[in-house]
Copies of this chain bind each other. A is one copy, B any other.
């Protein structure tokens, strides 16, 4: 810990503002950068609409460079503010931050519009940073916890769903064939996923009676097994939220273990629980 002391005060302050959100300045920086990100996201969206792009071409061009400028400055300041820059540069957000500034410069040097836009859309990844705002909402931690705990079970479930789709897709390809649009097995599997997840685009739909029968079975299966991930997560949430009711105290007198969180005395024998 003593080696870390020689960090200059301004660097320490800067780090506090840029990487933390406990001080007013830190919160302000966080929110300011979020607003710029949202503006940049909206810009990318609007640029993708041809009619708007033709009409406001140079306005987009200027806005593009202003945002690239801000992001470049932010990137440099982030590198300066941290003691071990590599940690930031090679982190997920470090790479995203770089990818959201680089394309504009590359595009400026090499030109090219179609591919350029595609790369520039990488900037959208920055929107993940908006999720950071959820730090302010305590609930999101519980959400993440419940999801993390049920991750393994949900993956097993999705794996089983995929295998069902492969089998059913092959079956549909054999039954319906090319006439109804089930051209090949991968396409039929795609259709099965569309159907099992109850999305149902309708661009491909079975036509033969047997195909419709199988489709019915797939749909009812999909309708029934959606219960599985739901059940997993529900149980996880119940566990998480139920816990606060009882704590881990055990009465030293009667060993009764289920006590409300703020219990002073054992509800079973009246013995004082903790001094």
Interface set of A (CB-CB < 8 Å, partner B): 41, 44-45, 48-50, 118, 121, 124-125, 127-128, 130-131, 134, 137-140, 142-143, 146-147, 152-163, 166-167, 170, 173-174, 183-187, 189-190, 193-203, 205, 209, 212-213, 215-216, 219-220, 222-224, 226-242, 245-246, 250, 254-273
Contact = CB atoms under 8 A, between A and B. Distances in A.
Contacts of A268: 254-256, 262-265, 268
B260 A260 contact: yes
Contacts of A263: 267-268
Given A48-B186, A139-B152, A230-B233, A167 B241 contact: no
Contacts of A142: 153
From A143, A155, A173, A240, residue with most partner B Cβ within 10 Å: A143
A157 B233 CA distance: 13
Given A201-B202, A203-B205, A167 B256 contact: no
Determine how many copies of this chain the complex contains: 4
A262 B258 contact: yes
A196 to B, nearest CB: 8
A144 B202 CA distance: 33
Nearest to A152: B139
A185 B142 CA distance: 32
Contacts of A156: 134, 137, 139-140, 143
A225 B243 CA distance: 23
Nearest to A219: B197
B227 A229 contact: yes
From A41, A157, A270, A273, residue with most partner B Cβ within 10 Å: A270
From A187, A231, A271, residue with most partner B Cβ within 10 Å: A231
A139 B158 CA distance: 13
Which 8 pairs show the lowest CB-CB distances between chains A and B? A231-B233, A265-B270, A235-B237, A199-B200, A257-B262, A263-B267, A202-B202, A201-B202
